[in-house]
Amino acid sequence: MSLFVFVLSCPLAASAAEQTAAGTAGKPWWFWPIVLFVFCLVLGIVAVLAGVGGGVLYVPLVSGFFPFHIDFVRGVGLMVALAGALAAGPGLLRRNLANLRLALPVALIASSFSILGAMLGLYLSALDPDIIQICLGVTIVGIAILLLVSKNTEKPVVNKQDAIGLALGLGGAYWDDGARESVEWKTHRTLLGLFMFILVGLLAGMFGLGAGWANVPVLNLLMGVPLKVSVATSKFLLSITDTSAAWIYMNRGCVIPLIGVPSIVGLMLGSLIGVKILAVAKPKMIRWLVIIVLFFAGLKAIDKGLGLGLLG
């Protein structure tokens, strides 16, 4: 129950942040980094429990409820997603859950197109920030629907590997602790999967979202990679995809340390706490809550972009 209240306090904290946002000038400078740190700590816990990346929650919630311009939110959002992926990478690689052979070709496509996405996003934002707000809102609502309807398969059956997957050697084996057996896997529909990462890279760069929400369905449902390997490789992939887009935003000046450092450190600490809570939590309920929060954050972004003011 206390966890339930804790999770719910996330949007409430954001709402409180928004109410005080109007009085930005009246607050001392240290007020916002502290609020942001606490907010990101909670966000880090929720993200782990819900099985989503920090960036996908950070960008819509912080852009919707905090007084920062969306340029800075996207820049920091990518750094947040990058830091989380970098921290998770070593453990996943050592346990052979994240697969380097699978990640490398996919990362090359996604990271190249995330640069284009970042440049396009900054261009549109310079034209009119509301365009980005509306597109972000539509994307977030789309992600919420994707989380709602996608049914990942734990161990997809791949009867025959395609020529590209075979040429690149996209396959492997991992030890499944739960089933006490080794699981071998290989890919199919590799070319179509690689094409899908063009879109994934563009969206990641344009909105600073990270892209775990898109990586996993493409790897698992389309290419036939087991769910555990898909999730781990996706997390590792973010450390490469987000690097290229993060540099574009950082070079443009979109990462303000006063906002960035408490966000990165808060989310990383929150993720560490989240991993400990995961053992006793009910992730299914939290996943539902996150879907609801994403729907709300997406609609809020659309509302803000259109200037309707229906959601406060």
Partner 1 sequence: MVTQNKEGLQPSREQIIYANLLIIGVWAGIFILVATYAIYLTGILPSHVELSIIPTIWGKGVGEYLEITHSPHGWGWLYLLAKGDFLNYIGLALLALMTIVCYLVLVRGYIRQKNWIFTVIAVLEIVVLSLAASGLLGSGGH
Q: Which is nearer to partner 1, 2 or 182 (CB)?
A: 182
CA 75 to chain centroid, in Å, comes to 13
Q: Which is nearer to partner 1, 96 or 152 (CB)?
A: 96
Q: Which is nearer to partner 1, 199 or 256 (CB)?
A: 256
Q: Which is nearer to partner 1, 143 or 301 (CB)?
A: 301
Minimal distance, residue 268 CB to partner 1, in Å: 7
Minimal distance, residue 207 CB to partner 1, in Å: 15
Whether residue 57 contacts residue 46, with contact meaning beta carbons closer than 8 Å, is answered with: yes
Minimal distance, residue 43 CB to partner 1, in Å: 17
Q: Which is nearer to partner 1, 8 or 173 (CB)?
A: 173
Q: Which is nearer to partner 1, 213 or 249 (CB)?
A: 249
Minimal distance, residue 189 CB to partner 1, in Å: 16
Report how far apart, in Å, the C-alpha atoms of 290 and of each of 42, 140, 147 are.
12, 12, 9
Q: Which is nearer to partner 1, 127 or 148 (CB)?
A: 127
> Could you write out the three-class secondary structure of 91-148?
HHHHCCCCCHHHHHHHHHHHHHHHHHHHHHHHHHHHHCHHHHHHHHHHHHHHHHHHHH
Minimal distance, residue 169 CB to partner 1, in Å: 8
Residue 90 CB contacts under 8 Å (≥ 6 apart), including other chains? none
Minimal distance, residue 293 CB to partner 1, in Å: 23
Minimal distance, residue 175 CB to partner 1, in Å: 5
Minimal distance, residue 119 CB to partner 1, in Å: 4
Q: Which is nearer to partner 1, 9 or 152 (CB)?
A: 152
